[in-house]
Amino acid sequence: MNMDDSSVLKQVDCGFEHSCFLTEHGEVFSCGSGEFGQLGLGYVSYKEYRPVRVRIKELEEGDQIVQVACGAFHTCFLS
């Protein structure tokens, strides 16, 4: 699933070579370099140029991401 025109952004944050986007519905998207796993998609050796939805398996039923924060080579999601 890609971010479309109906996704209203709540927050954007940028790291060294990656960015994360949080929608007002709690969906997280990321793009850029994933060499260190910072996209939340696992370790990828390529750059993702379009925002891709991040699926966070550890979220419990009813939990929602409320904030994202990018560092140089990492990303944090706050639920």
What domain count does the chain have?
1
**Residue at 65 is within a domain:** yes
**Residue at 3 is within a domain:** no
Q: Could you read off the pLDDT of 15-72 as tens digits, one per residue?
A: 999 999 999 999 999 999 999 999 988 888 888 899 999 998 888 888 999 999 999 9
Which residue bears the tokens 């891709």?
52
Residue 78's Cβ-count burial label (10 Å; 0-12, 13-18, 19+) is exposed
**Residue at 2 is within a domain:** no
Q: Which domain holds residue 65?
A: 9-78
**Residue at 59 is within a domain:** yes
